[in-house]
Amino acid sequence: MPDAAPPILAQFQSADGQRTGPPLSLPSDVTPEQLTILINSFLSHDDPRPYSFYIDDTEIVHSVHADILSTATRSTEDTLTIVYQPQAFFKVRAVTRCSTTMTGHTEAVLSVSFSPDGSQLASGSGDTTVRIWDLTTETPRYTCRGHAKWVLAIAWAPTGRVLASGAMDNHVRLWDPATGEAVGGPLTGHKAWITSLAWEPLHINPKGTRLASSSKDGTVRVWDTTLRRCLFTLSGHTAAVTCVKWAGDGRIYSSSRDKTIKIWNPDGSLYKTLAGHAHWVNTLALSTDFALRTGATDHTARKPESEEQAREWALERYQAARGGAPERLISGSDDFTMLLWDPQASNKPVAKLCGHQKLVNHVSFSPDGRLIASASFDNSVKLWDGVTGKFLASLRGHVAAVYQVCWSADSRMLLSASKDSTLKVWDLKTKKLKIELPGHADEVYAVDWSPGGDRVASGGKDRVLKIWKH
Amino acid sequence: MPQNEYIEESIRRHGRRMDHAERKRKREARQVHKDAEFAQKVHGLKAKLYNKKRHSEKIQMKKTLKMHDEKNAKQKTDDAVPDGAVPAYLLDREGQQRAKVLSNMLKQKRKEKAGKWNVPLPKVRGIAEDEMFKVVKTGKSKSKAWKRMVTKPTFVGDGFTRKPPKYERFIRPMALRYKKANVTHPELKATFQLPIIGVKKNPQSPMYTQLGVLTKGTIIEVNVAELGLVTTGGKVLWGKYAQITNNPENDGCINALLLV
């Protein structure tokens, strides 16, 4: 490296292609921290915001010289376009230790979920119960009995006042997390077990009363939880429905083992069928998933005063997550590929994401919607660009199938749960393993990072629920 | 040669004799005794044919009985919760090996220290030295008798180099050396042919352990890498102990049970 770093000519550009400021002559050993100060002064922010910088889709981690010029693809003669991306204001600290091992379930824990505001935790298990845990003392709080068979799916209402669970006994049940009592009897109608549940987003319905459930019998049913009846049945799939999502525009997305994804209008009519996969579609993710899940709550821990305000805030957050563009959809399949869709624009996928060597079990958009992580049975987690679908990195380290992935709220870290009984935290800046979390005695089936980022809950075949903290 | 079916015709016209049912019942009751008498008396080729026929008859009979049992047995109630819960994304996936495959390394280490295992074959038949070894006479006039040949199957490691034959006290014949064992996983209920890594303990004597003698009850270490077992720390497990359950010297193969 020369003693004096040669100057470079650089032009700042925002993610949507807007040029910011004039071309600048910068020393090539300029660091991202210095660039952040520059861009904050250009954009004249009152309080400085964190940014990350990219040249030709390569992130500047150390300095322009170390990351870009030393690879010899660009020289100091070129005018370099530096694309800046805003980062989350807050930082989530990586979980490093197991703070509690909570026993109670007498069979494998199949699903774990934090409430939208991160203050409550529930788990569904093979012992037919749903348990609600006290997060302040990290002890069991309520055991909800009612299902006759394995509880496969649980989902919190966006208000956090109701918990829904779906089980092998074909029933959906509702629970009151404040008392641990069942809210009425089961919602019956499905003819096979429930595979997935999705609540209506808060900004469409601030009361949060409608629930969609997908089942092995090939239908999706939409329930009104106050009237306690099935509003309509979405039947069109010819095989088991594997995943259901309720998008921010009110449409319902369902993926099925008949190789298609169907999109349903809010009134229950079929909007579109997306075909493209060559085998079962296992999982779906929306670019706005995180905003839809957390509803009105964000990192500032503000509390809405009324339902109307909650709706406004939720809508604000949803619009911000969409960023002016329509929601994107990613689907993972048994044909080892994922397809990225822009369902509003076209019936054809935007990109086909190839690279996995075994089936893709779970995909997830980062909370800011810029990245996609996919978990596959080929022991790897892969990272993809959330807009173009370009392959970014492969995160290897697990020695058995990866079941689930989970993002930290600031999109800077990724957590993966695997059959090899470990959880692994991956750093997205370096694209390397950050922390390994052994501790489970058997396969880890479910994991969730609380929306506030302070703790992680995981459960698996060893019947215990573990809470991980910094 | 019958002109027509005159018997059936007669029965149709006059009916059967009055004691027909009684006679029939008695004849059938007597038949088993007659068969038994015949079975005891018969010999030679006829016996062979008869036994074969009787054997297949018995199989058929057992099958019929079993079918009746199944029909009469009460069906399992539908509301029992099955064990081995799996999440929705693993339901309907074939080739799932649903069994506990993890090992507790700590437990295994502790056992190793104490030199005790809770093994499927706790007792073994003692094998005397003269059964185990054959004396090989050496020397010009075959007067020396200090050399021994192991008459049982052995495991010889990859890195083994022979001593000069002149000074080699124990000979382990090439024909009785084994490198692989058929190992059964007791919970997966599946058998895999796995390479042997070493002989951990031969319960007969420490000397046999050193020589790598494989007899019934010997604890061997096998390479389980292809089974995909993992430790609680998330590392792939490759060495695991197994106990030999057959008499390799009689069978020409090694069958073992994995210790989990």
Contact A125, A107 (CB under 8 A): yes
- What's the confidence (pLDDT) of residue B112? 54
Residue B112 shares a structural domain with residue B190: yes
With 0-12 / 13-18 / 19 or more C-beta atoms within 10 angstroms meaning exposed / middle / buried, residue A422 is buried
CA–CA distances in Å: residue A279 to residues A333, A378, B66: 6, 17, 42
> Which residue among A110, A195, A422 sits closest to B234, beta carbon to beta carbon?
A422
Cross-chain residue pair B85–A442, CB shorter than 8 Å? no
**In this model, does residue B80 exceed pLDDT 80?**
no
Range scoring the smallest mean pLDDT among A13-17, A196-200, A315-319, A401-405: A13-17
User: What Cα–Cα distance (Å) separates residue A359 from each residue in A52, A331, A333, A402, A443?
Assistant: 32, 12, 6, 10, 18
Do B119 and B227 lie in one domain? The reply is yes
Is B89 an 8 Å CB contact of chain A? yes
- Closest alpha carbon to B193 in B170, B218, B225: B225
Report the C-alpha gap between A204 and A207 in whole angstroms. 9
Instruction: Say yes or no to pLDDT of B117 above 80.
Output: no
Chain B, window 223-242: residues with a beta carbon less than 8 angstroms from a chain A beta carbon: 228, 230-236
Q: Which regions of A107-171 does DSSP assign to beta strands (E)? A: 109-114, 121-125, 130-134, 139-144, 151-156, 163-167
CATH number of A97-469: 2.130.10.10
Find the mean pLDDT for residues A161-166: 92
Percent of chain A past pLDDT 70, that is, above it, reads 99
**Are residues B123 and B242 both part of a single domain?**
yes
A320: three-class secondary structure by DSSP: helix
Q: Say whether pLDDT at B102 is over 50.
A: no
B82 within some domain: no
Q: Is A377 on the interface with B (CB under 8 A)?
A: no
Which residues of B fall within a CB distance of 8 Å from A400? 228, 230
Cross-strand pairs, B181: B194
Structural domain includes residue B133: no
The answer to whether residue B209 sits within a structural domain is yes
- Mean pLDDT across B113-118: 57
Mean pLDDT along residues A76-84:
80
Contacts A362 to B, Cβ<8 Å: 89
Domain count of the fold of chain B: 2
CB neighbourhood size of A199 (10 A): 24
pLDDT value for A1: 47
**Of A315, A285, A261, whose CA–CA distance to A406 is shortest?**
A285
Q: Pick from B87, B102, B231: which is nearest to A445 by CB?
A: B87
Structure tokens at A110: 């199949």
Specify the pLDDT at position A214. 93
pLDDT score, position A17: 77
Q: What is the pLDDT of residues B141-172, one digit of tens each?
A: 999 999 999 999 999 988 888 888 888 899 99
Chain B hits for A439, CB-CB cut-off 8 Å, are 232
Mean of pLDDT values over A190-215: 90
Q: Is the pLDDT of residue A27 over 80?
A: yes
DSSP A21-84: EEEEEEETT--HHHHHHHHHHHTT-SS---EEEEETTEE-SS-HHHHTGGGTSS-TTSEEEEEE
Asked if the C-beta of A32 comes within 8 angstroms of chain B's C-beta atoms, the answer is no
| Domain co-membership, B50 together with B110 | no
pLDDT for res A76: 73
Q: Which stretch of A89-98, A162-171, A298-307, B167-176 has the lowest confidence by average pLDDT?
A: A298-307
Q: What is the mean pLDDT of chain A?
A: 88
Rounded to an integer, what distance in angstroms lies between the CA atom of residue B73 and that of residue A121? 45
Amino acid at A210: R
Q: Of B29 and B228, which is predicted with more confidence?
A: B29
Any domain includes B40? yes
Q: What does pLDDT average to over chain B?
A: 85
**Is residue B83 less than 8 Å (CB to CB) from chain A?**
yes
Rounded-to-integer distance, Cα A372 and Cα A437, Å: 22
**Minimal-distance CA residue of chain B relative to A242:** B89
Task: List, edge to edge, every strand of the sheet that includes A260-264.
Answer: A241-246, A252-256, A260-264, A270-275
Give A40 to chain B, closest Cα distance, Å.
44
Distance from the B105 Cα atom to the nearest Cα atom in chain A, whole angstroms: 11
Per DSSP bridges, beta strands B170-171 and B144-150 are parallel
Alpha helices in A203-263 (DSSP H): none
Q: Do B85 and A283 touch (CB under 8 A)?
A: no
Chain A: closest CA distance from residue B115 (Å): 25
Average pLDDT over residues A218-237: 90
Question: DSSP assignment of B88-108, as one string?
Answer: GGGTT-TT---S-----HHHH
Answer yes or no: do B230 and A420 touch at CB < 8 A.
yes
> Has residue B78 been placed in a domain?
no
Q: Does residue B112 sit in the same domain as residue B228?
A: yes
Q: Which amino acid is at A93?
A: R
Whether residue B187 sits in one domain with residue B243: yes
Summarised one tens digit per residue, pLDDT across range A307-354 is 888 888 888 888 888 887 888 999 999 999 999 999 888 889 999 999
Is 50 exceeded by the pLDDT of residue B100?
A: no
Structural domain ending residue among the three candidates B19, B37, B66 = B66
* Chain A residue whose CA is closest to B228: A400
Q: If you average pLDDT over residues A440-463, what whole number do you get? A: 90
Q: What is the pLDDT of residue B93?
A: 77
Q: Does residue B138 lie in a domain region?
A: no
pLDDT at site B98? 44
What CA–CA distance (Å, rounded) separates B200 from B117? 11
Q: At what angle do helices B20-41 and B45-72 cross, to 10 degrees?
A: 130
- With contacts defined as CB-CB under 8 Å, which chain A residues touch B104? 441
Phi (first) and psi of residue A321, to 5 degrees: -65, -35
- For residues A52 and A152, the model is more confident at A152
Q: Where are the domains of chain A?
A: 7-86, 97-469
What tens digit of pLDDT does each residue of A278-294 get?
999 999 999 999 988 88
Nearest CA to CA, how far is B228 from chain A (Å)? 8
**Min distance A467 CA to chain B CA atoms (Å):** 17
| CATH number for the domain running over A7-86 | 3.10.20.90
Q: Which residues of A touch B87 (CB under 8 A)?
A: 110-111, 152, 403, 445-446
The CATH number that applies at residue B232 is 2.40.10.310
Confidence grade of residue B113 (pLDDT, cut at 50, 70, 90): low
pLDDT of amino acid B200: 92
* Contact across the interface for B89 and A436, Cβ inside 8 Å: no
Residue A80 has pLDDT above 90, yes or no: no
Interface TM-score (ipTM) > 0.85: no
Shortest distance between the Cα of B176 and any Cα of chain A, in A, equals 37
Amino acid at A8: I
DSSP result, chain B: --SS-HHHHHHHHH---TTHHHHHHHHHHHHHHHHHHHHHH--THHHHHHHHHHHHHHHHHHHHHHHHHHHHSPPPPTTPPPSS---GGGTT-TT---S-----HHHHHHHHHHT----S--------HHHHEEEEEESTTS-EEEEEEE-S-B---TT--PPPTTT--EE--GGGB--EEEEEETTTTEEEEEEEEEEEE-TT-HHHHHHTB--TT-EEEEE-GGGT-B-TTSPBP-EEEEEE-S-HHHHSS-EEEE--
pLDDT of residue B110: 55
In a domain, B13, yes or no: yes
Alpha-carbon gap, residue A284 to A277, rounded angstroms: 13
pLDDT of residue A295: 82
- Domain span at B33: 6-66
Residues B189, B250 within the same domain: yes
A372 band by pLDDT with thresholds 50, 70 and 90: very high
Of B85, B88, B100, which has the smallest distance from its Cβ to A153's Cβ?
A: B88
Answer whether B83 sits within 8 Å of A149, measured CB to CB: no
Question: Measured between CB atoms, does A290 come within 8 Å of chain B?
Answer: no
* Interchain CB distance below 8 Å, B79 and A282: no
pLDDT category at A15 given cuts 50, 70, 90 is confident
Whether residue A78 is predicted with pLDDT greater than 70 in this model: the reply is yes
Q: Does residue B113 sit in the same domain as residue B216?
A: yes
